[in-house]
Amino acid sequence: MVSKKDIAAVVISTALSVVVFELFLEHVARVERIPSGWGWAGSPRRILSKSAGGSEANQFGYRGQPIKYEKDDYVVVLLGDSQVESASEPLDKMPERLLEAELAKHMGRPVKVFSLAASAWGQDQQLQALERYLKTYRADLVVTWATPGNDFWENTFVDRSALMIAGPIKPTFTVKGDALEGPFYPESFYYGGYALTQLLGEVYGKIKHKFVGQMISDDWKKRLPIRPRTPSPECAQYQKIDQQTLSNSEDKLSLSEKYKLESPEDLLESKTHYAPYMLPKTEMDDYQIRLAALLHARIKDVAAAHGAATKVFYITKNLPSFTIACVGSEQAGYFALDRNFDKIMPKIVPPADLLNIPVEGGMEVNVSVADRHLSTIGNERAMSGLAAELTRAK
């Protein structure tokens, strides 16, 4: 008969073996942690940079000038995504530099503007970047460049991919009651918390034909109020175009025609640039709006705790435009769209804190037909308008 002492010895021996093996995996085999989040080094648009020589990153690893200011400088932090990062434009033509010059002209005093932004960021990574910044540096004003075509779904999901296949993992929050919960995955991590569980997860993933990032993404979706979405019958009447036509031939589409877009994005789970704008609305749309509102509110609270004011702005291009009336696919069905940024932004940011900055002009305000980020001309016009509004609001 096996004694309790023998059983205890086996348990202790096994536990010690597991601990030793875990230490071996972490410190000798050096099993790599899964990265969470990214800066300029991991930016999907870094390849577009034409800047020659020298470092393009600030002390936090985000594209922009070094964080250095004098006692009397008015210091502005510019939060955002690829619009702020402005990878295709020279360093001295980034929004931070243009806004800095415009504010100094309006205010008649020294101004410094620093970018905390990277392509494909939502307010979750912006919030974390601001918290890190304010541990060391000061700010008089925190300005968030909101991108309402991207922010909602980017905030909602733990990976950055609008497709069924998971993308890079990032820090992410959820809504619990009326408050934020998280961040989850705030930094690099082992799947399951340990190098050993990560290796076991990789083995299990191979059996299930999934990589670990996909398993994390699939598990995350179980936290969300994803509900069935009913296709819109009126979409049948519209001419169909595909994503490639939209991206590369936008200038050739009829301004009088209404189109339905065939999209490869994960529309049924609202993991798409068209959420939360599809009709009819679902619980998931409301969730994404509440999450964005809570993140913006947290950014404001963090800034206020360090003596900084806040503003949020988004841009409106006054270009002649065709109408995408519906989005969908043959498999998912087609859904009517109400992609009205002016209607949705006041739901997530108090009107007193919100600015809509028009960018006047034609196609010259874009990088290209295929790349609708602002060009240097577009950034100059946007930052000129923003500086005027910010100084008017002071």
Domain ranges of the chain: 22-227+283-319+340-393
Third-level CATH fold of 22-227+283-319+340-393: Rossmann fold (3.40.50)
User: Residues 280-284: what's their mean pLDDT?
Assistant: 95
Q: Using one digit for the tens of pLDDT, what is the confidence trace for 52-87?
A: 555 799 999 999 999 999 999 999 999 999 999 999
β-bridge pairing 179-184 and 172-176: antiparallel
**Three-point CA angle 346, 133, 172, nearest 5°:** 55
Specify the pLDDT at position 82. 98
Which SS3 state, helix, strand or coil, does residue 154 take?
helix
Q: How many CB atoms lie within 10 A of CB 298?
A: 18
User: Residues 143-170: what's their mean pLDDT?
Assistant: 97
Of the listed ranges 78-82, 121-125, 202-206, 215-219, the one predicted with least confidence: 202-206
β-bridge pairing 74-80 and 258-262: unpaired
Separation of alpha carbons 246 and 262, rounded Å = 10
Q: Report which of 51, 149, 62 is spatially closest to residue 113, judged by C-alpha positions.
A: 62
Which distant-in-sequence residues (6+ apart) come within 8 Å of 379 by Cβ? 86, 89, 93, 94, 95, 98
- 48-53: long-range contacts at Cβ-Cβ below 8 A with a sequence spacing of 24 or more? 48/87, 48/88, 49/87, 49/88, 50/88, 50/90, 51/90, 51/91
Of the listed ranges 20-29, 155-164, 186-195, 299-308, the one predicted with least confidence: 20-29
Q: Using one digit for the tens of pLDDT, what is the confidence trace for 309-355?
A: 999 999 999 876 778 999 999 999 999 999 999 999 999 999 999 99
Of the listed ranges 25-34, 145-154, 193-202, 269-278, the one predicted with least confidence: 25-34
